[in-house]
Amino acid sequence: MDAPDAQATSPAEPVNQTPPAALSMRDVLRITIMRRLWYAQIVSNFGDFLALFAVIGVLTFKLHATAQQVTGVQISYQVPLAVLGILAGVFVDRWPLKRTLVSSDVLRGLLVLALIFSTQIWHYYAILAAISVVSCFFGPAQGVVIREAVPMHGLRSSNALMQQVMFIMRIIGPAAAGMLVAAFGPSVCYWLDAASFFASACFILSLSIHRSPTIHHHTIAEDRGAIAKIWHDMKQGLLFIVHHAALLFVILALASGMFVMGCFGPLIAVYVRDSIHAGNTIYGWASAMIGLGILSGINLLNTFGTKIRNTILVYTGLTGIAIGLVLLAAITQVWSTLLGDFIIGFSVAGIIIPAQTMIQQETPPVLMGRVGSTVMSCVFTAQILGLLLSGALAQVTGVRHVFAICAGMIVLLAAAGKIFMEPKQQTSAA
């Protein structure tokens, strides 16, 4: 009976307090679950962008939709994610993860096939909204799987891998969709998107997915009704976020970054036309610089920023966005436009990856679905507000003033986070 105590106190067994080195993207891909989720992400994201840009092409050139109707495509997809996101997390925390992911992929594949038979604008809105409702469950469930499968010191690389796929496909997708639609018509894009969802389901079916045993333990009384149980679970997730000051800050920072990106979509073209008096070529380069900045930021920060605290990266990202916006508002030259867009994209990457990593690290497994879905809801709500408010604000104040206002709001958010939220995190850590 004395052996265990002696072994525990033996000076020959020094305890190593050094935290493990951060895993690289290559290291993370050696984890089977992560590697197959990454494959699934590649095929499904590529198919999504093919279908989305095929829909936009049909609405624009075949149905002769107005600019507002084309913008409605994005809004019809984003609204369910914003509205139902918080509720979806309650079910994700209760349902089997593998079944949830596979069912979501299969349902979305079938819904995409319905686009083949669409003939009216409202058909596309309804189908995209239905796909979005199903996606409300897939996103948080995937986040829980990554959190369970990847060690803490590999979460930043895993998030970088997933985000990298999305932005690469955003660059490749439009060109590929344009060539396919021109050669074969839009239906081929819908078939490929459906096939990508079914392929993603097959990748996930090949996995053995487990979750922490504590995930199934709930403190809700058995005699409560279904609505009361759902409300209780939602409130648990929301209260955890509200009472975790550092987590609340990074979620607000992430939402702010997405709000700026939402504003950029409709306004950057107007800025290029009215402020720097350039045409489509410069507009194309300006849009590409945002994507290039995000991709560069994801890779460089994941390589050289592994030893920097997540909160520091978020502060830096917010500051960088503000600098890029001020550059656009103050100087109206082609070079400043391209540089400002690159800085904004790079800085958004400095928020997305650390914020997602911190959310995964700080959230208990039992709340991961609810917190992840709440973050998703905040992000898409911010994007929708950016889309809706940018045009109205620009009409009242001008595009450059909108950029300046956004920069001021972001600076105030960073200052508030530094003053009111980080000290609480340090106190709780102590």
* Structure confidence at residue 215 (pLDDT): 45
Candidate from 133-142, 237-246, 314-323 with smallest mean pLDDT: 237-246
Helix, strand, coil share (%) of the chain residues, nearest 5 = 85, 0, 15
Residue 286's nearest CA partner among 297, 299, 273, 296 is 273
* Structure confidence at residue 429 (pLDDT): 41
- Most confident range, picked from 204-213, 242-251, 326-335: 326-335
Distance CA 224, CA 236 (A): 16
Dihedral sign (CA 182, 184, 190, 191): negative
- Most confident range, picked from 87-101, 200-214, 225-239, 381-395: 87-101
* Structure confidence at residue 225 (pLDDT): 62
Amino acid in the structure at residue 293:
G
First to last CA, the chain: 35
Q: Does residue 6 register a pLDDT over 50? A: no
For residue range 12-29, what is the model confidence (pLDDT) as tens digits? 444 455 667 888 888 999
Query: Higher-confidence residue: 252 or 194?
Result: 194
Distance CA 93, CA 95 (A): 6
Residue 154's nearest CA partner among 29, 310, 28, 31 is 28
Which CA distances in Å does 204 have to 39, 111, 149, 150?
Answer: 10, 19, 13, 16
Distance CA 357, CA 258 (A): 17
Dihedral angle of Cα 119, 122, 128, 131, to the nearest 10 degrees: -100
Which residues lie closer than 8 Å to 154 by C-beta, 6 or more apart?
Answer: 22, 23, 27, 28, 31
CB atoms within 10 A of CB 53: 21
Q: Does residue 262 register a pLDDT over 70? A: yes
CB atoms within 10 A of CB 95: 15
* Structure confidence at residue 395 (pLDDT): 78
Amino acid in the structure at residue 394:
A
| Mean of pLDDT over the chain | 82
For residue range 327-358, what is the model confidence (pLDDT) as tens digits? 999 999 999 999 998 999 899 888 888 888 88
* Structure confidence at residue 363 (pLDDT): 87
Q: Does residue 325 register a pLDDT over 60? A: yes
DSSP structure string for 159-183? HHHHHHHHHHHHHHHHHHHHHHHHH
Dihedral sign (CA 165, 166, 172, 176): positive
Which CA distances in Å does 227 have to 17, 92, 209, 231, 304?
Answer: 46, 16, 29, 6, 47
Which residue do the tokens 């009361």 mark? 228
Q: 422 is written with which tokens? A: 């980080």
Distance CA 218, CA 225 (A): 14
Residue 240's nearest CA partner among 78, 61, 57, 372 is 372
Q: 226 is written with which tokens? A: 């279904």
* Structure confidence at residue 164 (pLDDT): 84
Distance CA 98, CA 110 (A): 19
Q: Does residue 4 register a pLDDT over 60? A: no
* Structure confidence at residue 214 (pLDDT): 53
Residue 317's nearest CA partner among 292, 351, 291 is 351
For residue range 57-111, what is the model confidence (pLDDT) as tens digits? 888 778 887 766 777 787 888 888 888 877 888 888 888 999 999 999 999 999 9
Q: Does residue 47 register a pLDDT over 70? A: yes
Report residue 430's pLDDT band, with 50, 70 and 90 as the boundaries. Answer: very low
